[in-house]
Amino acid sequence: MRRLGVDPGDARVGLAVSDDEGALATPLCTIAARGEGDPAKRIAAEALREDCKEIVVGLPRNLDGSEGGAARKARLLAGRIHTATGLRVVLWDERLTTAEAHRALGAAEMSERDQRKVIDQVAATILLQSYLDARAARKRESLEKTRDKSADASQTESEWSPTSEDAAVPSVPERDASGRRGARGARDVRGRRPQR
């Protein structure tokens, strides 16, 4: 399922999109937050164009986890995006994604002018990749728990316990003193004498 990542800002909104498997996020575009109409409608148009089924909006929390004015604006934007698309909208903690994007672009030796053009897209990509990685980790944990439960169940099911079927175990005749097999002293495979 394709997902759209949204890094909201006062001046610009960065967008990123995932691949069909929901494993890899890539930068998509940057849209103006003001002056060109409602950004929620433009985000909805991008989601439709990219055939996204879920939208992940960055929630800019403070370092202590509390929410300030930017988080309130992000929640309002998420609500407007949901109204415009009808799609599931997830709020995802985006603390420090812009700082991480600046570090990545600085390491790529981009000029500050060039960085400004793509910084919001890169932040949206980091945000969306974080969400995708967390989903994949939860899915792996769930599969491991399921495998562990089914392994425990199959071990329990394969343990032997005495049942009425034990009487139907075929007999293995014992050898008599002359070394021949005979019915006398015959025992089943568990060493018990058959009932007559």
Res 110: pLDDT: 66
Res 103: pLDDT: 74
Query: Which residue from 88, 118, 123, 115 is spatially nearest to 2, judged by alpha carbons?
Result: 88
Sorted by where each begins, the domain ranges of the chain are 3-137
CATH superfamily ID and name for 3-137:
YqgF/RNase H-like domain (3.30.420.140)
Query: Which residue from 39, 46, 34, 61 is spatially nearest to 5, judged by alpha carbons?
Result: 46
Res 118: pLDDT: 78
| pLDDT tens, per residue, the chain with 196 residues | 999 999 998 899 999 999 999 999 999 999 998 887 889 999 999 999 999 999 999 999 888 888 999 999 999 999 999 999 999 999 998 876 766 766 776 666 666 766 666 778 888 999 999 999 999 999 888 888 777 776 665 544 434 444 444 444 444 445 555 555 555 555 555 556 656 5
Res 176: pLDDT: 52
CA dist 37 and 161 (Å) reads: 73
CA dist 112 and 101 (Å) reads: 12
Q: Are 41 and 131 in contact (CB under 8 A)?
A: no
| 178 alpha carbon, distance to own chain's centre | 71
**Which residue intervals of the chain are DSSP H helices?**
39-49, 69-85, 97-107, 112-158
Res 37: pLDDT: 81
* Residue 78 C-beta-side C-alpha neighbours within 13 Å: 21
- 181 bridge partner residues: 175
pTM above 0.75, yes or no: no
Res 27: pLDDT: 95
Q: Are 52 and 82 in contact (CB under 8 A)?
A: no
| 90 alpha carbon, distance to own chain's centre | 13
